[in-house]
Amino acid sequence: MINVTRLNGKEFVVNTDLIKTIEATPDTVIRLVSEDKYVVRESVDDIISRVISYRRACNAWLNNHIDRADRQREGMDES
């Protein structure tokens, strides 16, 4: 999930898994797979950067938990 800002200044959150397209027309328009459209203040590049950061954080969290589970499983095998 990423935070974005409507043209009126109100912030809201977008589920990055539901983004279908992002385009500059010249305002930035986010289109979801549901075909809902949102016009936002952020640039296309800024949204892409936020999506990448969010997904990196999700992957880091997942890898951390997988590593922890592997270590716990290895500890149980040694007992």
Q: What is the pLDDT of residues 5-48, one digit of tens each?
A: 999 999 999 999 999 999 999 999 999 999 999 999 999 999 99
Report yes or no: 29 and 22 within 8 Å, Cβ to Cβ. yes
**In this predicted model, what pLDDT tens digit does every residue of 44-69 receive, in sequence order?**
999 999 999 999 999 998 888 887 77
Q: What is the pLDDT of residue 77?
A: 55
Q: E strands along the chain, which residues?
A: 2-5, 11-14, 19-24, 28-32, 37-40
Alpha-carbon gap, residue 67 to 55, rounded angstroms: 18
Residue range 73-77: average pLDDT?
A: 72
Q: What is the pLDDT of residue 79?
A: 46
